[in-house]
Structure 1
């Protein structure tokens, strides 16, 4: 087992926070092809446990004892990893105050949020058709799943097409790829709740701009719910837009226009859109990702305050430039996957101060902790100017 301990320490010594840990591990395992699947799983789990737990020891502690204790703290049930660490002495369980040096958004408990980072979240899929049939198929294959209600505020959620499964469930081997989308519960809820507000106002989107679209999960959800509207997606990364285009083809969706735009650059936005207005704008801005750190604990481990300042400096100009293209009566949806005030309420306040006639309809955290999901923040505005 000594060689596995060597690889665990080797990964933790060489990894510096970039690229994403999952990408780094794949490359590391390609360089060491003699490692079997059980070995790779044990190494990966040990590394993830370390990044979930190491910061709890204020004065530091040796890597392997931290992992040994971390198995208990994280609820690990990997018997092979337990055998690998059999001769390692556990580190004393740390006594740490449940606090964090960054103010959290209203409704977030620092203790609850920090505790949630020690557990791997669940897998969520959005079933595009015949959800009950899909559930039966999964259950017949001994895959435990249940519907999870989406939308907000509390009491108005609907359990329709979101399924919650154990992380790692082999849905790709059982379902046709065009029949479902892997998308966290909080991400689904962010758009479903905004759509509910629009419906309550008797509003149906016709011209939609998805700013900083990424791979397009929210646009795909919108197109599945309301296929007729015209959609512009933009991002600073041409490669991610190509991925989005491929996903639209896979799901047989149409009505897509793409542009590479740096939304922090006011003149570039104006030149790219040439005075166009949109009745619905989805603005999911780059952020610290703190609401998703349970999935990416390396980001939690390597977090520095300078990163938060960098993201906060991007978010307001991105949103403000997008708002300049909002039609009278239109809806603007501001989204982050952050739990920090600086990226959430603080930006909302600046947008309200800088845009007369902008009405705030909803603002708050989408808390997925109790569901084993991510946390996100969403604010929905309406342009009341004629």
Structure 2
């Protein structure tokens, strides 16, 4: 039983394969190669072309196979297009290898294209690195700018706050308070400081306050306190009279600095009358006697009636009970006061007590 054409290779096909194995000269064509069963070419290059063009060249391939099978003795001449793939590409010469996909993949790498790709890749890498660096620098710049804005904003806010506190009438003086006034009239002090009403607290000058208080000699020292939002507080310490100087029927009361405190008809308690050199406010005897009286405890000061001194080294007192006290200079006043207090308690009828040497006190009855 005869097989259909294309399944068995005939004698003509064997001859054709023999001719294909012979060398081909220059300009000669490669004889057509046999195809495998089913019309599928066995050559890999023709197999690639056959896969794409088998639909178009199916009829021509079947006819050629039938002719070769019918007459095996007659050598088959290759058709003009035989040896090409179904897509029409000539697979017989070496120039046709460049058109095959598998051969195209096996071609050596083009150095120019590779260099261009490397250059593009390098440029892209440089651009990416520059972008990252620019983003980092921009972020640092933003942080620096933000910090500067915060600092400038804080300074401006503080300046505005200070300006509001200094220039705004919200902190102007509306109340003047006086603390520590007894011999000095507090109303007179408030009237003297009334010039500062309406002035911002921070603009109240200490020099202006000092000039306003100069007419009050009884103020020994003072302090100004500014209490927001509207209060100006004046704390004063008045001069204390320590010695009385007789002036006819009246007495001039002076403090330890010799400043006239007041003139009275009746002596206050604890202010002895000066005798001898102690009546001169500018003399050394007055200064020594005044310092001693100023530093004495209150209980002893209340017992003093007179103070005498011819120099700064022989201060003496006369107590209200008639006892004379020899004091000496103005040193060790507190220690002498302790000794005198003890002597007054132990010796009831002494006419003279000398504490000028507190380590060895002397008394006379």
TM-score of the pair, normalised by structure 2? 0.22
TM-score of the pair, normalised by structure 1? 0.21
Structure label with greater radius of gyration: 2
* Structure of greater relative contact order (alpha carbons < 8 Å, 6+ residues apart): 1
